[in-house]
A and B are shown apart, each in its own frame.
Chain A
Amino acid sequence: MQFFPLRAKILILLAIIATVPLYAGSYSLTFMIILLMYTTLAESYDIVGGYLGYMNMGHASFFGVGAYSFGLLLNSGMALPLSFLFTALIVAAFALLISYPFFRLKGAYFALATFGLIKLLELLAFNLKGLTGGSEGLTVSSGYRVIPVYYMSLILCAATIYTVYRISRSRLGLALISIREDEEVARAFGVNTYRYKAIALIISSIFAGLAGGIFIWNIIFINPTGVFGLEIALVPIAMALLGGSGTVIGPVVGAIFITLVEEFLWTEVPYLHLAVYGMVIAFVGLYMRGGLVRTKAARSLLNRLGWVEE
């Protein structure tokens, strides 16, 4: 197996994914776009949720803010690349703004306050009709964009995974993990905890915000529930936890697993698919400690492929 280095395998995999539009129909392409979007969200959630150890239940607020800013920028006549650039800047500024007050909170307080934030943003989006269009939603100009959206999602997703990989092997990653293990001790050893927490939040927010931008560009119309709703808030977190939080590959595995299960249930099971879906999630929580990638079978498989975690 060592004959092929890991890097080559990843490049081959990327090449295969990149050629999907050549032979796949629009249904599978849409499926892939959804998968890539959720992978991006789960992976970017994990920077704060897994490495930093702060359960950011409001990760989808970046997604929503990104989607709305991108839509508004595009509608104001800005060019596409500039819109993405400014979306990233707006989301990063938003993350910086909330990082100070929210990182004073710890543990479950942080988790629930960020969840409160996302509900607050949803209701603000409903009520600030002048800016967001309220419950009528926000529409951008339409067009056939499946192919460009696919490649943008792929690039964003690959960039997110690569960034997390680099973080996990860097000083920043060490700092984040030290904060996760014991914040007081980390501070005592000279880690500027506030600065690292803010950096982690900003990095994770940018990817989620850009995913939001691609989302509205793809589906043309968004409303507050679509981007700040429960599904978009909870599903990426469930994916990261289910795959294995605090590992590079875990959220990816979780995203693929949940998206496939969902796809199978929605198309093959006529009744009670939500119930089966719930039971699958509960089963993993009960019996697979630390997520799918930390099970023995997954570990040995990953080792054979040459992927080393932790």
Chain B
Amino acid sequence: MPASVFVQLLIAGILQGGVYALAAFGLSLIFGVSNVLNLAHGQFLMLGALAVFFIFSFTELNPFLISILIIPLFFLAGSLFERGLIRRLMSRLPHEQVEASILVTLGAALAIQDITSFLWGSEDKGISYFLPTIHVGDIYVSSVRLLGLVFIILLTVALHFYLKKTYLGKSIRAVTQNRKGASLVGINASRVSTITFGIGTALAALAGVFYVILYTVSPEIGIPLTIKYLCVIVLGGLGSLYGTLVGGTILGLTEVFTSYFSPHWGGTSAYLLLVVVLLIRPKGLFG
């Protein structure tokens, strides 16, 4: 493999992994705080992508700028989702809670998917947004991808400081570690749950922005993507927020490099990786 191809694949892999990590990070936050496997997570990604698509087709603004509008919108959507559907499951026993949350979020996911394709049609949608290609020597990089990469890195840094430095960020980490303990020292755990759902959903919608720019989006992509993100958070270790980032990046790199040699095996490698990692480390890389 020539060095220039290697560098290009590396960048593509990190970007791919970054998009995975972004959405999976939201899912991981939600799971950590409320112990709910949110099967509707990918639907919010899809909705975020569609929202950007429609705003873009009217205004032709830079999609990355539009994504800043998306954040409060989906924060609200996620909080309402938690208030309406998840809140009442919190009082149940742990195993009942997991079962009920699967029924509720799966049902919601199916409903969202069907209503979306009813209202907006089920065909693939994508934004053709081009910026000039940058090339250094033999290495060609699309500047849209580079911009995406910068955007993801900035978001990660911002999230890191949010979780480490602010009161709410610290409460999120506290509730993730021990819900009862956190409540005992005066953290309003149910409010933290609502906010976390908001943040997680906004992150999913942001990942949707990359999907609609780099690939195409249709209402059916939600559930398969959710499963992939669940793989990512298990790979990194459930409840380990930074494990999710590492897991996503590893997955992205593996997929891109495998696809270079054999396109068919690219998708398989993700699940193979998941199963192999779990067999060696039953609690994920950082669990």
Which residues on A are within 8 Å of B, measured CB to CB? 53, 55, 101, 104-109, 111-113, 115-117, 119-120, 123-124, 126-127, 230, 234, 237-238, 241-242, 245, 271-286, 289-290
> 10 closest pairs, A vs B, by CB?
A282-B107, A285-B103, A278-B110, A281-B107, A278-B111, A274-B114, A275-B114, A120-B271, A123-B268, A285-B104
17 contacts between A and B (CB under 8 A): A55-B99, A106-B282, A108-B98, A108-B234, A109-B284, A127-B264, A127-B265, A272-B114, A278-B111, A279-B111, A281-B103, A282-B85, A282-B111, A285-B99, A285-B101, A285-B103, A285-B107
Contact indicator A280/B238 (Cβ below 8 Å): no
On whether A278 and B106 interact (CB within 8 A), knowing A286-B100, A289-B92, the answer reads: yes
Within the assembled complex, what's the spacing in Å between the Cα atoms of A230 and B100? Answer: 19
On whether A112 and B231 interact (CB within 8 A), knowing A271-B118, A281-B103, A283-B107, the answer reads: yes
Within the assembled complex, what's the spacing in Å between the Cα atoms of A120 and B37? Answer: 21
Which residues on B are within 8 Å of A, measured CB to CB? 31, 37, 85, 88-89, 92, 95-96, 98-115, 118, 223-224, 227, 230-231, 234, 238, 264-265, 267-268, 271-272, 274-275, 278-279, 282-284, 287
Q: Determine the residue in chain A with the shortest Cβ distance to B113.
A: A274
Contact indicator B114/A120 (Cβ below 8 Å): no
By a CB distance below 8 angstroms, the chain A residues around B104 are 281-282, 285-286
Q: Interface on chain A toward B: helix, strand, loop, or mixed SS?
A: helix
Contact indicator A234/B106 (Cβ below 8 Å): yes
Contact indicator B283/A109 (Cβ below 8 Å): yes
Within the assembled complex, what's the spacing in Å between the Cα atoms of A41 and B95? Answer: 21
Within the assembled complex, what's the spacing in Å between the Cα atoms of A120 and B287? Answer: 23
Contact indicator B283/A123 (Cβ below 8 Å): no
B110: contacting residue among A245, A277, A283, A286, CB under 8 A: A277
Contacts A108-B238, A120-B275, A280-B107 known; 4 new A-B pairs at CB < 8 A = A107-B98, A238-B106, A282-B105, A285-B101
Contact indicator A289/B100 (Cβ below 8 Å): yes
Contact indicator A120/B238 (Cβ below 8 Å): no
By a CB distance below 8 angstroms, the chain A residues around B282 are 104-106, 109
Contact indicator A230/B106 (Cβ below 8 Å): no
Within the assembled complex, what's the spacing in Å between the Cα atoms of A55 and B39? Answer: 15
Contact indicator B268/A275 (Cβ below 8 Å): no
Contact indicator B278/A113 (Cβ below 8 Å): yes
Within the assembled complex, what's the spacing in Å between the Cα atoms of A278 and B105? Answer: 9
Contact indicator A281/B110 (Cβ below 8 Å): yes
By a CB distance below 8 angstroms, the chain B residues around A126 are 264
Within the assembled complex, what's the spacing in Å between the Cα atoms of A137 and B243? Answer: 38
Within the assembled complex, what's the spacing in Å between the Cα atoms of A290 and B104? Answer: 13
Contact indicator B100/A116 (Cβ below 8 Å): no
- Give, as a whole number of angstroms, the nearest-CB distance from B111 to chain A: 4
Contact indicator A119/B107 (Cβ below 8 Å): no
- Give, as a whole number of angstroms, the nearest-CB distance from B33 to chain A: 14
By a CB distance below 8 angstroms, the chain A residues around B88 are 286
Q: Determine the residue in chain B with the shortest Cβ distance to A49.
A: B99
Within the assembled complex, what's the spacing in Å between the Cα atoms of A63 and B223? Answer: 21
B37: contacting residue among A108, A234, A273, A285, CB under 8 A: A108
Q: Determine the residue in chain B with the shortest Cβ distance to A112.
A: B234
By a CB distance below 8 angstroms, the chain B residues around A238 are 102-103, 106
Q: Determine the residue in chain B with the shortest Cβ distance to A271.
A: B118
By a CB distance below 8 angstroms, the chain B residues around A245 are 99
By a CB distance below 8 angstroms, the chain A residues around B268 are 120, 123-124, 127
Within the assembled complex, what's the spacing in Å between the Cα atoms of A116 and B275? Answer: 7
Within the assembled complex, what's the spacing in Å between the Cα atoms of A207 and B62? Answer: 55
Contact indicator A109/B238 (Cβ below 8 Å): yes
Within the assembled complex, what's the spacing in Å between the Cα atoms of A242 and B278? Answer: 29
- Give, as a whole number of angstroms, the nearest-CB distance from A159 to chain B: 26
Within the assembled complex, what's the spacing in Å between the Cα atoms of A171 and B160? Answer: 51
By a CB distance below 8 angstroms, the chain A residues around B223 are 230
* B96, B100, B115, B265 pick with most chain A CB within 10 angstroms: B100
Within the assembled complex, what's the spacing in Å between the Cα atoms of A236 and B282? Answer: 26
* A116, A273, A280 pick with most chain B CB within 10 angstroms: A116
Q: Determine the residue in chain B with the shortest Cβ distance to A108.
A: B238
By a CB distance below 8 angstroms, the chain B residues around A115 are 227, 230-231
By a CB distance below 8 angstroms, the chain A residues around B85 are 282, 286
